[in-house]
Amino acid sequence: MNKSKMFFSIVTLFIICLASAANTFAQTDNKPPQAEPVYEIVLHTVVASNNAGGKTDLPQTLSGAIKKLKNNFSFTNYRVMSTYLERVANTGSVEFKSFAPLPNALPIFSEWSLGGLRNLQNSRGQTSIQVQSFRFGQRVPIRTGVNDSSVVNYENIGLTLSRFGLPLGEPTVIGSLSTANEDLMFLVLTVNLMEN
């Protein structure tokens, strides 16, 4: 009889624990869900050259990044070729494809993507942005041959990065590409926190 009471006690205790666990897991959090942070992504393509008399109007927001470039490179002229603006939530991604018709020239096809953007704190406790993947590419026209018998082929150029960080709200040079005229194209990325 003692074995039966002991078995009954164990089964009863097991049922009580099971009911308690089910009740605990069934309780819902009464807090309303919060929206994740949203970021404005600004990508500038800045072309550096030694062409005299070229257009040099640059946004004031890029002054710090351009100053660093001038300290490291001997180009005399910097100009913004393109500016891209997108919005993405925390851990989100962006994919962009477009073409740019150029005056008196063949168009250039551009594409870029950014994935896995995350808001983290750096070792000093400041907000920092980490990006899991970034790719920038262009298909540029290359003319071969002479005059009437010339042929245009489009060639791919680009840059791929994985896992890098940048400060929040600060334009940061993340890479460069050579262009056809011994110019250099710099990719300047800025991530700003937006109000929801």
pLDDT tens digits, residue range 40-72? 999 999 999 888 766 667 899 999 999 999 999
Report the domain count for the chain: 1
Q: What angle do CA 27, 28, 31 make, to 5 degrees?
A: 140
Residue 7 lies in a domain: no
CA atoms within 13 A on the CB side of 158: 16
CA distance 47 to 45: 7
Cα torsion 160, 132, 165, 92 to 10°: value is 120
Residue 27 lies in a domain: no
Residue 180 lies in a domain: yes
Residue 12 lies in a domain: no
pTM: 0.77
Residue 10 lies in a domain: no
- Residue by residue, DSSP assigns the chain as -HHHHHHHHHHHHHHHHHHHHHHHHH----SPPPPPPEEEEEEEEEEEE--TT------GGGHHHHHHHHHH---SEEEEEEEEEEEEETT-EEEEEEEE--TTS--EEEEEEEE--EEEE-TTS-EEEEEEEEEEEEEEEEEESSGGG-EEEEEEEEEEEEEEEEETT--EEEEEEE-TTS-EEEEEEEEEEEP-
Residue 25 lies in a domain: no
Q: Which of 117, 93, 123 lies closest to 165 in space, CA to CA?
A: 117
Residue 134 lies in a domain: yes
Q: What is the mean pLDDT of the chain?
A: 84
Q: What share of the chain in percent tops pLDDT 90?
A: 47
Residue 3 lies in a domain: no
Which comes out higher in pLDDT, residue 167 or 2? 167
Position 13 scores a pLDDT of 61
Give the pLDDT band of residue 194 (cuts 50, 70, 90).
Answer: confident
Domain with 77, as residue range(s), is 38-194
Whether residue 127 has pLDDT greater than 70: yes
CA distance 186 to 46: 5
Region 109-121: what's the mean pLDDT? 91
